[in-house]
Structure 1
Amino acid sequence: MDLKTLIKQRASFKAKLTQFEKYLETLNSCANLSSLQIGELNIRLSKFEEIYSEYDSLQTEIEQTSEIPNEQFQDREAFETKYFGAMALAREVLARNDCPARSGSGSGSRSGSCVHQVHLVMAKSRVAPIKPTTVPRLELSGSLLAARLVEKLKISQRVYFRTSKATEMEQRWRTPEIGRNGARKR
């Protein structure tokens, strides 16, 4: 194979390394990992270990084909530094969560997972009326729609709604019981 093709193949190994590093960054920021995350890390780690032998043979071929091998040696050094750093971090994350590397068995029931999953349960929308209306009225209509949706889903947890502060403040100034200066009328 020509050098250009080999370098393109090497780029895919570098991309895999970057993906693994990004994955590790998210896990490293978590205090505790769930058993699912630990299992996934173990699987990814075993797959990632296999990459090095393939990279090594490809890089050796590039170094032998290249007219300027010093540049290729530097590339190898940079890759290996990142690779072994990522491997060490992955093992450290597993050790921090009391998990033997590649065991497949988590440490039992871990809570406090840092990766949150969001699922769309139901969606509802409403188009603004043709007849001109005020922004506070539209927000009130949206809040009513959300409240009815929560009631329909029978959610037992607390639900918080957020509105625009500007509209809320504007509405405060216009209510009859509160004067322009914010003091209550008697």
Structure 2
Amino acid sequence: MYISMKIVVIYKSKTGFTKKYAEWISKELSADIFDAANVNINMLAKYDTIIYGGSLYAVGIIGINLITKNFNKLRNKKIVVFATGASPSRDEVITEVRNKNFTTDQQKSIKFFYLRGGFNYSKLNIFDKFLMTLLKWKIKNKKQEDLSSDEIGMLSIYDKPVDYTNKKNIENIITYINS
């Protein structure tokens, strides 16, 4: 007998990269999809699997408190969280993001994925533009030999939008959900 799983994809996206991944995942899994602004915890009761996507903001996943603050109510569900950022995927960064956003207990139940997104300064709100400008100045004031590869990369994409999204990147999430 086949039992169908009720799946929802929720996302919070500032510049569209997370939304793009959420839409691909939703389509691939025939899942409902909602912007996090339109979701409350009671809506999630009818779902067996909850997939949350948010962009990274100083290693914090935006909007993740929807999942973490309500973790005890969601504990009996399959929970997947993905975060998007402009940087290439690296184990130490993934560990840092996981440790900053989830308790040890939550890490046992929440499957986390990092998907490379992109950067588009023009789509940021005024406050984020201000913060990014401060960061750019801070990076530019360093000596060239003291710059990290991430800082060099950030300076190179600052003035021209970059999109590293790739539909292939969702394959591990789809495989995990279907397992």
Higher relative contact order (CA 8 A, sep 6+): 1
* TM-score, reference length from structure 1: 0.21
Rg larger for: 1
Q: TM-score, normalised by structure 2?
A: 0.22
Structure (1/2) with the larger helix percentage: 1
